[in-house]
Amino acid sequence: MSAIVTPFPLAASRPLQVGFDRTELLRILDLYGRMVAAGQWRDYAMDFTRDAASFAAYRRAAERPEVRVEKRPDLRGKQGMWALIGEAGQVLKRGHELAGVLFPLERRLLKVVEG
């Protein structure tokens, strides 16, 4: 009696697109709502690809996003899967936790409220 071993397909282990889970999206949209209320942002866009999920916030419609929050699960073990990217494409902050990456935006929001 012999056993037949069938290899597990590797393609099924990788999702077709990266997305935000419910708690991540709630955290991002909460910040977005507070920035809209403070008059800083007016529009947003989300993009989901095979490698990354991206949330872009705009000061005005039809321009480059002021900031982008990106989730890249492939970088989880290296620099961290979260990145905050500025208007010119520079990486402003990178980390393993979403809260830490959003902190510079939250700090700026506090300055707007106090000012």
pLDDT tens, residue by residue, 50-104 = 999 999 999 876 678 999 999 999 888 888 899 999 988 899 999 999 999 999 9
Write the pLDDT tens digit of every residue in 3-34.
887 776 665 566 688 899 999 999 999 999 99
| pLDDT at position 57 | 94
Contacts for 92-99: CB closer than 8 Å, 24+ residues apart = 92/67, 98/24, 98/27, 98/28, 98/69, 99/27
Using CA atoms of 29, 30, 31, 36 in order, give the dihedral in degrees to the nearest 10.
Answer: 80
Element containing residue 34 per DSSP (H, E):
helix 22-37
Task: Please indicate, yes or no, whether the overall pTM of this predicted structure exceeds 0.85.
Answer: no
Average the pLDDT over 26-45 and give the result.
93
